[in-house]
């Protein structure tokens, strides 16, 4: 029976990146994915993911983001394809709200370039937006979006070229520490490894029941619409945006229309609501989207972008895996330094995949990382 240095369970956003960094370093690595790579059942589908640096969630993420930006660039060069699109990001919200306060704090602490936009200037610079007069407007020029499916494919392809073994349509069923080796049973085979990395996203509680209390999975809805004037909203003419809604606890966000011929579908202007949705179980997700869910989202977005959603083209579901404080968990398993988990990305993790993969590889091979991930430890909830 084959003995691997490292087995990575879940070759999605974080797992594909971990396989890449491990294989590049010459490690004998096996990646096991229950579906195809990529797929639409987890957390990474849907064409685009925002990347930004003035991190309102917590300034401690900024050093990780610096490294993430660096690593995405390196991946682009190695894969020979564009993964990151610098559109800039428009932020709006009440000046003392969680978004605007957090952005200003991170920008100040880490000297991140953020432009303050006056309402008079916003009307000419961002004519398709209607921002309430009591909202503050900021713009982060170096922010933009990543194409998640292409990122995951690039990591996986380069991992395989560097010697990784990647199995798809194979599910981890159980694992067990047996002396110095971990025994892994999948739906197809039995393997052994020295280190196990668990990057199973919304299925993490099934693989590591010890984390069940800390992880809750929610069903999120994303909608693509057709605007009144197509060109006003296309890539190059329209930024990514994030607006802290005054009436509700979450934030609305969106992207420009991406050229289907270059990037693939879905077609149209994408928008969504960043707030934990209906609780669900990753194995039993209701993928049917009700007309009310679509119309409520579009009605809210139209307050800020009145002509963006003349009609709805398509809606899809996606999964968040939330921790109680909405910060990630990246750590060894309590009482087992041979098992490493990266989970609970709480709807804002994709942009970090390039640094998380590197960190996971270091934790598996060296038992430590130089990246400041202490605040993401798994024991903080006790
Ligand atoms: C609607 C939506 C919008 C988002 N927007 C943004 C954004 O703008 N910016 C941003 O940075 N982040 C965003 N995110 C968050 C980001 O996409 C996630 O945090 C990230 O994809 C999580 O990565 P993951 O590797 O944990 O999960 P996934 O990418 O889902 O990977 C987990 C993988 O593990 C596999 N797996 C699970 N169990 C097993 C098993 N037993 N055996 C084998 N394989 C298994 C799954 O099939 C899956 O492929 C968004 C998420 C959603 C849903």
Pairing of strands 216-226, 278-279: antiparallel
Which residue, by CA, sits nearest to atom 3 of ligand 1? 347
Q: What is the CATH number of the domain that holds 18?
A: 3.50.50.60
- The reply to whether 225 and 365 lie within a common domain is no
On whether the pTM is more than 0.95, the answer is: yes
Do 128 and 232 form a contact (C-beta atoms < 8 A)?
yes
Whether 79 is covered by a domain: the verdict is no
Whether 54 is covered by a domain: the verdict is no
- The reply to whether 209 and 222 lie within a common domain is no
Which residue, by CA, sits nearest to atom 23 of ligand 1? 13
Whether 59 is covered by a domain: the verdict is no
Do 125 and 137 form a contact (C-beta atoms < 8 A)?
no
- Residues of the chain predicted below pLDDT 70: none
Helices (H) and strands (E) in the chain, counts: 9, 20
pLDDT for position 37:
98
The domain boundary, picked from 304, 322, 340, lies at 322
- The reply to whether 282 and 368 lie within a common domain is no
The domain boundary, picked from 303, 322, 341, lies at 322
pLDDT for position 382:
76
Using the mean position of ligand 1's atoms as its centre, give its distance from the Cα of residue 44 in Å: 4
Using the mean position of ligand 1's atoms as its centre, give its distance from the Cα of residue 125 in Å: 34
Q: Please name the residue that has the structure tokens 């990753």.
A: 282
**Ligand 1 site residues, Cβ closer than 6 angstroms:** 9-10, 12-15, 32-35, 42-44, 46, 49-50, 171-172, 199-201, 203, 207, 220, 222, 272, 318-320, 343, 345, 347-351
- The reply to whether 133 and 253 lie within a common domain is yes
Pocket test for ligand 1, best of 35, 37, 44 (most atoms within 8 A of CB): 44
Q: Please tell me the total count of domains within the chain.
A: 2
Give the domain extent around 265: 87-142+215-322
The pLDDT tens digits for 303-330 are: 999 999 999 999 999 999 999 999 999 9
Using the mean position of ligand 1's atoms as its centre, give its distance from the Cα of residue 327 in Å: 15
């Amino acid at each position: 029976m084959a003995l691997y240095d490292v087995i990575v369970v879940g070759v999605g956003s974080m797992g594909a990146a971990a396989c890449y960094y491990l294989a590049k370093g010459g490690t004998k690595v096996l990646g096991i994915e229950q579906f195809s790579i990529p797929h639409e059942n987890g957390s990474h589908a849907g064409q685009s993911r925002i990347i930004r640096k003035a991190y309102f969630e917590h300034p401690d993420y900024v050093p990780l983001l610096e490294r993430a930006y660096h690593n995405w660039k390196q991946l682009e060069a190695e894969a020979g394809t564009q993964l990151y699109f610098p559109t800039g990001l428009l932020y709006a919200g009440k000046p003392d709200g969680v978004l605007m306060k957090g952005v200003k704090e991170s920008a100040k602490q880490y000297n991140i370039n953020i432009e303050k936009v006056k309402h008079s200037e916003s009307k000419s610079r961002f004519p398709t937006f209607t921002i309430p007069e009591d909202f503050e407007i900021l713009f982060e020029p170096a922010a933009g979006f990543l194409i998640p499916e292409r990122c995951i494919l690039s990591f996986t392809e380069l991992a395989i070229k560097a010697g990784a073994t990647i199995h798809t349509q194979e599910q981890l069923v159980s694992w067990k520490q047996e002396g110095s080796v971990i025994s892994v049973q999948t739906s197809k085979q039995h393997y052994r490894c020295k280190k196990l990395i668990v990057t199973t996203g919304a299925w993490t509680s099934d693989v590591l029941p010890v984390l069940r209390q800390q992880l809750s999975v929610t069903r999120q809805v994303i909608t693509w619409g057709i605007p009144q004037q197509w060109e006003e909203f296309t890539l190059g003419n329209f930024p990514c945006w994030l607006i802290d809604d005054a009436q509700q606890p979450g934030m609305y966000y969106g992207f420009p229309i991406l050229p289907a011929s270059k990037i693939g579908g879905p077609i149209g202007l994408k928008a969504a609501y960043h707030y934990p949705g209906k609780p669900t179980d990753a194995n039993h997700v209701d993928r049917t989207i009700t007309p009310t869910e679509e119309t409520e989202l579009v009605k809210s977005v139209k307050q800020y972008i009145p002509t963006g959603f003349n009609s709805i083209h398509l809606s899809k579901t996606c999964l968040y895996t939330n921790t109680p404080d909405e910060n990630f968990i990246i750590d060894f398993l309590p009482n087992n330094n041979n098992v490493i988990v990266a989970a609970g990305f709480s709807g804002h993790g994709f942009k970090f995949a390039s640094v998380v993969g590197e960190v996971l590889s270091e934790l598996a091979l060296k038992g430590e990382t130089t990246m400041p991930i202490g605040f993401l430890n798994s024991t903080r909830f006790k």
